[in-house]
Amino acid sequence: MRKNTIDLQEKLQELLLAQRDNFLQGKVADYIPALASVKPDLMGISVATIDGQVFGAGDYQHPFSIQSISKVFGLVMAMNRIGDSIWQRVRMEPSGQPFNSIIQLEWEKGIPRNPVINAGAILVSDILTSHFSASKLAFLSFVRKLAENDNIYVDNQVYLSELKHGNLNAALAYLMKSFGNIEAEIPDVLSHYFTQCSISMSCEQLAKSLLFLANKGIDPRTKETICTARNAHKVNAILSTSGMYDQSGEFAFSVGLPAKSGVGGGVIAIVPGYGVICTWSPPLNNYGNSVVGMNLMADITEELGLSIYY
Ligand SMILES: NC(=O)CC[C@H](N)C(=O)O
């Protein structure tokens, strides 16, 4: 049973306080300097509900690099654009491998396991690059519209270092191209992918912008259809099985919600029929998921009885 949300604000504060020192157990992503320099003790949580309430505690209005959380927006855009033909080029199975693994991709002939590991998101970036005349702009406009905020921006410093240190992502892209699964030119595809990873948003903005996934594809604020109910279902299913990479099983076990993490330390979780939770704390565990984010998600879903498996 879901508890009343009246004291949710206080509860968020309390849960966050309990995590105060746990950021020390993780390690901030250091593959690029722009992420390595983020203060490790920042942390925030926000909950947006489909009936229009927004709660937040800590640094919930502080923008951070959304990184792989961007894969959710990209997938929705690609599904809207090319429909079910996307599933001929990317699958919907958990990978059981790290998010940037290349091993499986060769065995499986350039068909990524799912759209939220890097190979899959690069494939989705190819679809967007090929089907939009200005895909980066279209992506940013989509996110700005969903967040109802025109100030959301691409952090150019993050973008440039992603580009500079993006050899593994480039290798994934070229491998897929060698199997004929990438249409556009690789530099254009990578430029799109790194751009979407480099968007900065706060917990509050992310929670609000993904409400349509908790509401059968309809933005509860504007009543606009962002995607079909069936596509919202498909995205949530993929996030349930693969959104936390090779820790998705443990996340289902301890939290029980469709979710997506990013190496910037953000985690979003969709609660169908209720709303969206977003947490942020930069230090990561060995799977590339935020340590405090994992804890907070477990605590809040338990507290409010939000797991989809009850
Ligand atoms: N898990 C992530 O957030 C990965 C995104 C990161 N930019 C990468 O491509 O490696």
- Statement: residue 6 has pLDDT above 90: no
Taking the CB of residue 271, how many other CB atoms lie within 10 A of it? 23
Domain boundary among 197, 214, 231: 197
**pLDDT cut 70: percent of the chain above it:** 98
146 band by pLDDT with thresholds 50, 70 and 90 = very high
Considering the domain architecture, whether residues 76 and 92 belong to the same structural domain is answered as yes
ipTM: 0.96
Do 169 and 253 lie in one domain? The reply is no
CA 210, CA 22: separation in Å to the nearest integer?
A: 27
Asked if residue 142 is part of any domain, the answer here is yes
Same domain, 133 and 33: no
Give the residue carrying structure tokens 């706060």: 202
162 touches ligand 1 (CB under 6 Å): yes
139 and 129 in contact (C-beta within 8 Å)? no
Whole-number Å distance, alpha carbon 57 to ligand 1 midpoint, is 26
| pLDDT for 4 | 53
The candidate with the shortest Cα–Cα distance to 298, out of 273, 267, 264, 262, is 267
Q: The whole model's pTM is what?
A: 0.97
193 and 206 together in one domain:
no
- For residue 3, pLDDT beyond 80: no
Classify strands 266-271 and 199-201 as parallel, antiparallel or unpaired. unpaired
The mean pLDDT of 277-286, rounded to a whole number, is 98
| pLDDT tens, position by position, 89-142 | 999 999 999 999 999 999 999 999 999 999 999 999 999 999 999 999 999 999
Annotated binding-site residue? 236:
no
**What is the CATH number for 271?**
3.40.710.10
Catalytic residues: 68, 71, 193, 245, 263
Q: How far is CA 213 from CA 23, 123, 225, in A?
A: 29, 22, 11
Measured between alpha carbons, how far is 269 from 107 in angstroms, rounded to an integer? 31
Q: Has residue 127 been placed in a domain?
A: yes
Mean pLDDT of 288-299: 98
> Does the annotation list 193 as a binding residue?
yes
Q: Does residue 85 lie within any of the structural domains? A: yes
**Which residue range is the domain that position 116 belongs to?**
68-197
214 and 142, same domain (yes or no): no
Residue 238: CB within 6 Å of ligand 1? Answer: no
Asked if 72 and 53 sit in the same domain, the reply is: no
Q: Is 162 annotated as a binding residue?
A: yes
246: which DSSP letter?
A: G
Q: Whose CA is nearest to atom 8 of ligand 1?
A: 118
Among the three residues 197, 218, 236, which one is the final residue of a domain in this structure? 197
Q: Are residues 252 and 156 part of one domain?
A: no
Q: State both tokens at 96.
A: 């059981």
Nearest ligand 1 atom to alpha carbon 288: 1
How many domains is the chain partitioned into structurally? 2
Residues 231-252 have pLDDT tens digits of 999 999 999 999 999 999 999 9
pLDDT exceeds 60 at position 147: yes
Report CA(92)–ligand 1 centroid distance (Å): 19
Of the pLDDT bands very low, low, confident and very high (cuts 50, 70, 90), residue 1 is very low
pLDDT score of 206 more than 60 = yes
Tell me, yes or no, whether 265 lies in a domain. Answer: yes
- Which of 148, 174, 197 is a domain's end point? 197
Alpha-carbon torsion angle 155, 157, 163, 169, nearest 10: -60
CA angle, residues 106, 79, 232, in degrees to nearest 5: 110
- Residues 133, 57, single domain; the answer is no
Residue 100 beta carbon below 6 angstroms from any ligand 1 atom: yes
Give pLDDT tens digits for 222-232: 999 999 999 99
- For residue 73, tell me if it sits in a domain: yes
Q: Are residues 163 and 180 in the same domain?
A: yes
